[in-house]
Each structure stands twice: as structure tokens, then as C-alpha cells.
Amino acid sequence: MTTSTRTWAEPYKIKMVEPLKMTTEDERRAAIAEAGYNTFLLKSEDVYIDLLTDSGCGAMSDRQWAGMMLGDEAYAGSANFYRMRDTIESYYSYKYTVPTHQGRGAENILSQILISDGDYVPGNMYFTTTRLHQELAGASFVDVIIDEAHDPASTHPFKGNVDLAKLDALVAEVGAEKIPYICIATCVNMAGGQPISMSNLRALRAWCDRTDTLLVHDMTRVAENAYFIQQREEGYADKTVREIVHELCALTDAATMSSKKDALVNIGGFLAMNDPDIYEKACNLVVVYEGLHTYGGMAGRDMEALAIGITESVQDDHISARVGQVEYLGNRLMEMGVPIVQPIGGHAIYLDAKAILPHIPQDQFPAQALAAALYIDAGVRVMERGVVSAGRDKDTGENFMPKLELVRLTLPRRVYTQAHMDVVAESVQRVMQGAADIRGLKFTYEPDCLRFFRAHFAPVDG
């Protein structure tokens, strides 16, 4: 063991535990078959270590739980809203905040305000709900991330960067007036939790100023991105994560946030911006879809927990332990020879399913099949991030065939121990040793949109 595995020891201790049910392999085989080989359809109580997502399943601190008792459950003008709004302005720089029930609520409102039919929205790789809301509002998503992001073996330190030449090419093709905004995610989820550099974001800011285009920030994982900038980008080693987070946000015009990730709460989100006209429109729309503009689908107590969560999420000790645990698991897997996306991302490890299951063609969903096999082995629940998640082209009806066919092992914040990480690594190793016996899958039920959530599968030839 290298000394670096001990640089991230947890800056907290455990005060309450949640006992877990242990299952047998036969029970797990039955459970995954009943779930149609879709890990989203498993019952949580049948799962031992749940690495499905880092969304809404983190552990709140005792301070946050204490904050829950300070809920001002007024319909309008709750004290917790103002505390949340002031915290967002102070930590993230945005002047105006509209709460939403979660990130996609903010995406819906922003897309409706900014997009006209026939527009194009460039982004550093798509995210499922983000792209769908852009499409529902009449736009087409255009991927402008650097090529390295699509190569699981590239060790580029900032695989979330935008290729400005791709933006210029898009403008030449469709005209700048067809591009209402650019949507930039920090620590790009679909690229494997990979950061964008401050210098790239600064160049993008200049590009947007030149072309009079808005820059929108999907800030779901902004703290993890800031940590990587501190570790990797010249000139940032002595800055705090809090300072870097503020600097990142201040380069953008508006933000959508899923507070269920970096901000350490179980539910919530917001739309934030500096433009009073956009704010006015957002206030009028939020009452239609979410709730009044001072609660937008959140209880007062949830807004209080979020305000506290934001302050905890940018503490250097917290974020280095959080990303350190992900790196611990990733490094163990690499030592075992498991092919994973590199560099190791901020919130998850991504297994390269095409490399692990070369005998399964992509239209038989190798990542989906690998996810099911991992559940059967040790009760670890993970998620497909490949052709099933990518969905179908709305014009041709064909499957999008992403270059990356991945299985995501996502770590909830402050929830599992190092022993749990060892169980996971050893299970992946065992499944890989038996990979030749894993069969591909076919759809038995395919929903129209966001199909990965509720699709059913069966093994091919049997």
C-alpha cells in the first residue's frame, strides 16, 4: 500500500448506522431476473452495496439534521429560502435563485425560457435529462467536448474541456443566432466524472462574449471539479476549493443544480442566474411546474439542509476524502488489471464493458449485462452508461451507438467504508474472471424516453 492511500482519511465519525440485509446468490439471481436485468428495478433492500448513483443517497451531517428542525414551512417567503439564496450567492456568485424539486426541474424551466424551435445547444457531452429537456423545447444537442473524452484510455487531465474549433465549426454551419446558449457541465458525468480546466472555461467565456452567447453551467459536481483544478492546474495549488468553486461559477451566466450530488442533500435543486429578465421569466414558469418561486418544490427544512450542505461541500478536507475514496477503489481495480476509464473521475469508477465482454456486440448491451452480473456476484448495484442510456436518435429512430460502453460504480458521499470498497473490487475481479460465460441481452420492454430507467431485458438465446 502506498502512503497516498492514507492522505484522505474521513474527516468525520459515524454516529448512526443502517443495518443491511445479506442475500444469497440464488436470491440475487431471482431478484435480477424479476427486475428484467435492469438494476434500476431492483428493490433497495435486496442490495448490499448500492453504487447505482451518487444522487440523493449521501449521508447528511449532524449539522444538516439539526438544520432540518429549523424548517420555516411557510408557503411564501420562508426564512430557509433566503438563507439558501444568500449561501448560493456567497459560495457560487449567482445573484438570483429559483428553487426546484431537483436538477431536471431547473433544466425544464431554463430550456423553455432560452430555446426556440430549431436551435442548437452545444455542450461538453450530453447528460440524459439535460438533453431531453433541450430536445423537448425544440433544440438539438451538439457535443463539443474534446476528442480525448471519448477515449477511455486517454489520460488527459481535463477530459471535460471544450474543443473551441468544434464550436466555430457549428457556428459556420448553423449561424451563431441559432445557438442560444452553451451548456457546460463541471466534472462531466457522462465522460466519467472528468473535469474542465479553468483556462478552458476562461477561453469559452471569451468565445461567448465574442459571439454574444450565454454560458450556462450544469454545476451538479462543481466542488469535485474544483478539487481537480486545485490538484492539477497550474496556479491553483494554493487556492481553496471554495475559492475555485466561486471562480468557476463567476465565469458563467446561469446555472442548473442537482443538489442531490455535491451539495450533500437527499432532494432538491435550483436554477440560478445573474440576468434579472431571465429570473423574472423563471419565477413565472416555476409556479407552473414546481411551486412558488420561494420554495419551488422544496420544503423549508430541505432548503435549510441545502444551505448547510453547500458550506460543507466545499471544505478541502471533505472533498479530498470524497475523491480519495473513489481513487482508492479505482487504484485497487487497476492493480487487478480491470480496464477502467482514466484518469479516475471524481464521483465514480467506470468499467470499460467493451473490453471486459468483447464477445458481446454493442447492440446486445454489454454494459447492461455486466451490471446484472455484478449484482448477482455480491449484491453490488451499479448502472449501465452505454447504448441503453444513450437512447435513440429522434429523427432516425436508430440507437445512438456511443463510443463509451461503460458500467458506472458511483460512490455516495460519506456512506460506505474502505472495507466496502474492498468487497466491490474483489467482486469485479471475480466477475471478470468468469466473463466468457456472461451473455448479451435483448429488450422485452422499451420505454419511449429515458429508457434506461424502466426497460426490461432478457438474456439472448434463452
Ligand X SMILES: *Cc1c(COP(=O)(O)O)cnc(C)c1O
User: Contact positions toward ligand X, by CB under 6 A?
Assistant: 55, 102-104, 127, 129-130, 185, 189, 218, 220, 258, 260-261, 269
Active site residue: 120, 365, 452, 457, which one? 452
What is residue 408's three-state secondary structure? strand
Active site (annotated) includes residue 75: yes
Q: From the CA atom positions of the chain, what is the Rg in Å?
A: 21
Pick 184 or 435: Cβ nearer ligand X:
184
Enter the DSSP assignment of 60: P
List % helix, strand, coil for the chain (3-state, nearest 5): 45, 15, 40
**Beta strand 254-258 pairing with 269-273:** antiparallel
Whether the link from the prior residue into 11 is cis, omega within 30° of 0, is no
Query: What is the distance between the alpha carbons of residues 125 and 161, in angstroms, rounded to a whole number?
Result: 10
Pick 183 or 321: Cβ nearer ligand X:
183
Pick 191 or 241: Cβ nearer ligand X:
191
Min CB(105)–ligand X separation in Å: 7
Active site residue: 261, 408, 413, 451, which one? 261
Min CB(21)–ligand X separation in Å: 26
Pick 271 or 438: Cβ nearer ligand X:
271
Enter the DSSP assignment of 396: T
Active site residue: 12, 75, 400, 453, which one? 75
Active site residue: 218, 253, 262, 352, which one? 218
Query: What is the distance between the alpha carbons of residues 340 and 370, in angstroms, rounded to a whole number?
Result: 13
The set of cell numbers assigned to 45 is: 433492500
CA–chain centroid gap for 66, Å, is 27
Active site (annotated) includes residue 131: no
Min CB(258)–ligand X separation in Å: 3
Enter the DSSP assignment of 338: -
Min CB(313)–ligand X separation in Å: 14
Active site residue: 97, 128, 186, 294, which one? 128
Active site residue: 322, 385, 414, 451, which one? 385
Min CB(376)–ligand X separation in Å: 27
Min CB(46)–ligand X separation in Å: 23
Query: What is the distance between the alpha carbons of residues 163 and 166, in angstroms, rounded to a whole number?
Result: 5
Can you say whether residue 142 is alpha, beta or left, with left for phi > 0 and alpha for psi between -120 and 50 degrees?
beta
Query: What is the distance between the alpha carbons of residues 266 and 116, in angstroms, rounded to a whole number?
Result: 33
Min CB(220)–ligand X separation in Å: 4
What is residue 347's three-state secondary structure? coil
The set of cell numbers assigned to 210 is: 465574442
Q: Which residue is nearest to ligand X (CB)?
A: 103
Active site (annotated) includes residue 128: yes
Pick 106 or 376: Cβ nearer ligand X:
106
What is residue 416's three-state secondary structure? coil
Active site residue: 37, 48, 96, 127, which one? 127
Pick 265 or 378: Cβ nearer ligand X:
265
CA-nearest of 264, 282, 262 to 272 is 282
Pick 27 or 143: Cβ nearer ligand X:
143
Active site (annotated) includes residue 452: yes
Active site (annotated) includes residue 385: yes
- The residues carrying an active-site annotation are 75, 127-128, 218, 261, 385, 452
